[in-house]
């Protein structure tokens, strides 16, 4: 008996006009869930990231390959008349169009939302833009611009240093996730209405949404100092805006990054340590301060707040005698939440992440094998195999034949017109 393994988005066809990172993250996710993703690229040029940050000459970069798995590539000049006709046919045959061009680029090509609805009323038209409607809606935006404009940079870093961007691509990949959710939600609504709709995810909105605890703190400031910030225990006055909080925890339980054994030589020999109230007695025992359990200066979260600097110094004295893994092994059974600072090298070598498909090794015909991140969202009935990214225009003929029913002659004439 053959078991046919279906995927969640089997039968959904995506017209993928995305480039760089934010849009491609979204369509890659849809591909992992089983959608047929048709990536449209300019003939001879393709997605600019194919050639950016190359590690091997003339081979698609890791930047490109790691964002474009499970897609097919068609080259198509959507500014050429024949190219526009083919593009129009593709809009008719697809369920979703995704793009993250500079504002207005698709309108300039002649494909406004109104036009797309006329061509295919069931089409869901999804875009990432840097900003939503407002004073900056015309701006081009990259990751770090979004991190700055979305509130992340002003609240990241140390109090006495400049604003900092983070290594997580919250503006690009984060917004791509938002867009993917918008698309599947619109597909779900289309089941009832029969109609497509416009989906917009702005990068500023996405970053700000992820910074909600900082907006929370902005409002709390009006009612007094932010007592859980180490700034408070250091008796530094607060200004009128949410300050940079270093490695302080953003939640109700105080936390800090502490040195572990070997920190002098290893830049990642650190642990994140959360002094959770419920685990306080265990913490006191582990660090050799059992008297703090009953001490009126340390016994409750409220009295500890102005002394957090002293508390974490004492904890660090202990963590410095252990490796970050030993800290984890000792604290976990005692319900003390800690986390080792894991490097990219350690993560790429971690067997359990390979077992779950969170990190996968992929074969590429031109670059050999490389590592990439797999689908972070696991569905029990929709397995996500990671398939290598397409070469530029690898599937042009196949798509013209299968999706649009072109024959040899039509393909040859599109080619001689320079449209594909």
C-alpha to C-alpha distance for 292 and 280, rounded to whole angstroms: 9
What is the DSSP secondary-structure string of 49-88?
Answer: GGGTT-SSTTS--HHHHTT-TT-EEEE--TTSHHHHHHHH
What would the x/- binding string for ligand CAO be over residues 27 to 66, using CB under 6 A?
-------------xxx-----x------------------
Q: Which stretch binds ligand CAO (CB under 6 A): 73-81, 192-200, 230-238, 292-300?
A: 73-81
36, 60, 172, 248: which is the annotated catalytic residue?
A: 172
Applying CB under 6 A, among 69, 71, 129, 388 the residue interacting with ligand CAO is 129
Tokens of residue 378, six digits: 């696991």
Applying CB under 6 A, among 91, 94, 128, 283 the residue interacting with ligand CAO is 128
Q: What three-state secondary structure class fits 127?
A: strand
Q: Which stretch binds ligand CAO (CB under 6 A): 5-13, 51-59, 123-131, 310-318?
A: 123-131
Please list the alpha-helical segments (H only) found in 211-265. 212-220, 230-233
Which C-beta is closer to ligand CAO: that of 104 or that of 376?
104
- Nearest distance from residue 149's CB to ligand CAO, in Å? 12
C-alpha to C-alpha distance for 46 and 40, rounded to whole angstroms: 8
C-alpha to C-alpha distance for 154 and 295, rounded to whole angstroms: 38
Which C-beta is closer to ligand CAO: that of 21 or that of 61?
21
- Nearest distance from residue 99's CB to ligand CAO, in Å? 9
Mark whether 172 is an active-site residue: yes
Please list the alpha-helical segments (H only) found in 120-244. 143-149, 173-193, 203-210, 212-220, 230-233
Asked if residue 79 binds ligand CAO (CB under 6 A), the reply is yes
Applying CB under 6 A, among 26, 76, 287, 327 the residue interacting with ligand CAO is 76
Closest CA relative to residue 314, chosen from 340, 334, 295: 295
Residue that the structure tokens 């290594």 belong to: 167
Which C-beta is closer to ligand CAO: that of 208 or that of 314?
208
C-alpha to C-alpha distance for 27 and 127, rounded to whole angstroms: 11
Asked if residue 207 binds ligand CAO (CB under 6 A), the reply is no
Residues that bind ligand CAO in the complex, under the rule CB under 6 A = 20-23, 40-42, 48, 76-79, 100-102, 105, 108-109, 128-130, 140-143, 172
Catalytic residue ranges:
172
């Amino acid at each position: 008996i053959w078991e046919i393994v279906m995927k969640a988005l089997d039968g959904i066809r995506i017209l993928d006009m995305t480039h760089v990172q934010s849009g491609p993250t979204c369509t890659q996710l849809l591909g992992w869930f089983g959608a047929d993703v048709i990536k449209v690229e300019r003939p001879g040029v393709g997605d600019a990231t194919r050639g950016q940050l190359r590690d091997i000459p003339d081979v698609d970069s890791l930047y490109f390959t790691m964002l474009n798995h499970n897609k097919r590539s068609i080259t198509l000049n959507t500014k050429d008349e024949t190219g526009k006709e083919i593009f129009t046919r593709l809009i008719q045959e697809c369920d979703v169009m995704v793009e993250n061009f500079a504002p207005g680029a698709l309108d300039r090509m002649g494909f406004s939302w109104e036009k797309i609805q006329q061509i295919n009323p069931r089409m869901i038209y999804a875009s990432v833009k840097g900003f939503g409607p407002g004073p900056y809606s015309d701006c081009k935006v990259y990751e770090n611009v979004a991190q700055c404009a979305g509130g992340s940079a002003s609240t990241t870093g140390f109090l006495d240093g400049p604003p900092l961007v983070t290594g997580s691509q919250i503006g690009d990949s984060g917004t791509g996730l938002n867009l993917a959710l918008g698309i599947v939600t619109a597909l779900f609504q289309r089941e009832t209405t029969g109609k497509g709709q416009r989906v917009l995810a702005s990068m500023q909105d996405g970053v700000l949404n992820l910074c909600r605890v900082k907006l929370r703190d902005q409002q709390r400031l009006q009612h007094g100092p932010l007592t859980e910030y180490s700034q408070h225990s250091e008796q530094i006055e607060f200004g009128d805006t949410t300050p940079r909080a270093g490695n302080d925890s953003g939640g109700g339980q105080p936390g800090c990054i502490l040195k572990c054994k070997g920190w002098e030589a290893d830049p990642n020999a650190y642990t994140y340590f959360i002094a959770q109230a419920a685990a306080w007695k265990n913490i006191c025992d582990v660090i050799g301060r059992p008297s703090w359990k009953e001490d009126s200066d340390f016994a409750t979260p409220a009295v500890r707040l102005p002394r957090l600097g002293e508390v974490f110094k004492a904890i660090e004295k202990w963590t410095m005698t252990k490796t970050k893994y030993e800290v984890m092994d000792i604290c976990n059974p005692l319900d003390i939440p800690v986390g080792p600072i894991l490097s990219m090298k350690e993560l790429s070598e971690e067997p359990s992440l390979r077992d779950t498909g969170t990190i996968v090794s992929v074969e590429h015909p031109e670059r050999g094998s490389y590592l990439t991140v797999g689908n972070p969202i696991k569905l029990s009935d929709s397995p996500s195999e990671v398939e290598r990214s397409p070469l530029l225009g690898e599937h042009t003929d196949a798509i013209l034949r299968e999706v649009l029913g072109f024959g040899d002659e039509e393909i040859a004439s599109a080619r001689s017109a320079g449209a594909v």
